[in-house]
Amino acid sequence: MDFKALSVKEAYPFYKSLYKEVKRDYFSFNGLDFFNLRLFKGDFLLLKNRFDSKVYGLFEKGVPKILATHYQAKDSTLGIANSLGSILVNSSVSQSEITTFVSNLKIHLKDIDGPIYAPINAHFNLGFTLPNPSIDSTKLTFLTSASSEGLEKLFYNNDGFKQERKFYSLSFKVADCPEYVEKIKSGLSERPPEYTVEKLSLTNYKQDIRDYNRIINESFKDHWNFFPLSFEEEWDLMKTAILVLKRDYVRFLVHKNTKVALNMFMPDFHQVFTNGDDTKNMMRSMFYKKAPKRVRGVTTCIIPEYRGKGLLKYVRNENLLGIFADGVLEVESSYIDQDNINSLENSKSTGAKYSHEFNLFSLN
């Protein structure tokens, strides 16, 4: 076994070959190879602007068995200064090989001051956390974290990493919550007349993403290890997201011609995607997007000066009624931080119940 430190450019061919070998063992890659390959290549503007990257791997006779990228923030005061992400592990790897990899990794990163979190692909927007072991794979929704036998060996069966933080998922089946459905129907008329709700615009998509970026940055600025994206970095991610977004499920609360809050759901494409061919998956998404049966709440937020007025429910409830009208059977809220008590209570108020959890680790 050989442990190697590589540049991102040197590592990319190895990432491609290992990804091809292991992706069918992972649940759930987002089903779109082009996104994952861009990540391995370091081809997002966010990565180029904000991070220096180095890839570490364990090789057997020149063939990679484990690959992981160390992302080091150029400005250590913003967000997470050091993380390990883009982690691929061949499920055939032994526990002793895991130990060898982690031991060498610690030697190479011993001069890093502060925690090294994993698995985070440099920034939350690019994917993070690991679900509980042996989770039902159908509960992992589109664009959430991935797991595999190899990843469980690395994080859960090895003392090289310790758990740092939990994120929760709650869900409810629409048929089980008739009182809640009636409650939000009757509450629509209570929205103050000076506020309106608007759907995501496809004709003015770029401007709406500019507003989305502003609302996210203002709303989450005090959250754990958050750092804002520039509009250019956000647009680099969202200009292709239009392929999988359903505009009816992205809504803004508007006051005096200014968007002040956001509620966003996505169809759970994991129900129809496979870790296979992009073209077939995109065709599946086009059909599933028309009548999804399961959706995931991506974000709900409001800028600080509008908090405490009970306004967020108006944009959320109007969005949910449209979702119910589409025949959606199950709604999930996920990646709710352990300290975000308001969001946890808000989800429970819909009738949602605990579904599963995700864990964030640090190099021990």
**Quick check: is 363 in a domain?**
no
On whether both 184 and 322 belong to a single domain, the answer is: yes
**Quick check: is 73 in a domain?**
yes
**Quick check: is 12 in a domain?**
yes
Do the Cβ atoms of 361 and 163 come closer than 8 Å?
Answer: yes
**Dist. CA 11–CA 219, nearest whole Å:** 37
Do the Cβ atoms of 19 and 37 come closer than 8 Å?
Answer: yes
Q: Domain span at residue 126?
A: 2-167
On whether both 276 and 349 belong to a single domain, the answer is: yes
Place of tokens 């090895």: 158
Radius of gyration of the CA atoms of the chain, in A: 21
Helices (H), 117-192: 149-155, 178-187
The helix, strand and coil proportions of the chain, stated in percent and rounded to the nearest 5, come to 40, 30, 30
On whether both 289 and 213 belong to a single domain, the answer is: yes
Q: How many domains does the chain fold into?
A: 2
What's the CATH number where 159 sits? 3.40.630
What's the CATH number where 204 sits? 3.40.630.30
The last residue of a domain, from among 167, 183, 216: 167
On whether both 13 and 133 belong to a single domain, the answer is: yes
| This prediction's pTM | 0.89
On whether both 181 and 239 belong to a single domain, the answer is: yes
What's 147's DSSP letter? B
Do the Cβ atoms of 68 and 57 come closer than 8 Å?
Answer: yes
pLDDT score for 16: 95
**Quick check: is 338 in a domain?**
yes
Helix 312-325 to helix 178-187 angle, to the nearest 10 degrees?
120
The last residue of a domain, from among 167, 201, 230: 167
pLDDT score for 340: 82
**What residues contact 299, with CB distance under 8 A and at least 6 apart?**
216, 262, 263, 264
On whether both 156 and 187 belong to a single domain, the answer is: no
On whether both 241 and 92 belong to a single domain, the answer is: no
pLDDT digits (tens, 9 = 90+) for 17-50: 999 898 878 776 655 788 889 999 999 999 999 9
Closest CA to 212 of 226, 200, 221: 200
On whether both 215 and 144 belong to a single domain, the answer is: no
**Quick check: is 205 in a domain?**
yes
**Quick check: is 316 in a domain?**
yes
**Quick check: is 255 in a domain?**
yes
On whether both 286 and 238 belong to a single domain, the answer is: yes
Tell me the backbone φ, ψ of residue 79, rounded to 5 degrees.
Answer: 60, -140
Q: Of all helices (H) and strands (E), which one includes residue 252?
A: strand 250-255
On whether both 115 and 203 belong to a single domain, the answer is: no
The last residue of a domain, from among 149, 167, 185: 167
Do the Cβ atoms of 86 and 22 come closer than 8 Å?
Answer: no
Do the Cβ atoms of 58 and 101 come closer than 8 Å?
Answer: yes
- pLDDT tens, residue order, the chain (364 aa): 899 999 999 999 999 999 989 887 877 665 578 888 999 999 999 999 999 999 999 999 999 999 999 999 999 887 889 999 999 999 999 999 999 999 999 999 999 989 999 998 888 878 777 888 877 766 766 555 678 889 999 999 989 999 999 988 888 999 998 888 898 888 888 999 999 999 999 899 999 999 999 999 999 998 888 889 999 999 999 998 888 889 999 999 999 999 999 999 988 877 777 766 777 777 877 888 888 898 988 888 999 999 999 999 999 999 999 999 999 999 988 788 888 888 888 788 778 888 888 899 999 8
On whether both 282 and 141 belong to a single domain, the answer is: no
On whether both 238 and 314 belong to a single domain, the answer is: yes
Instruction: Using alpha carbons, list the distances in angstroms from residue 105 to 68, 72, 115, 327.
Output: 10, 14, 14, 49
**Quick check: is 364 in a domain?**
no
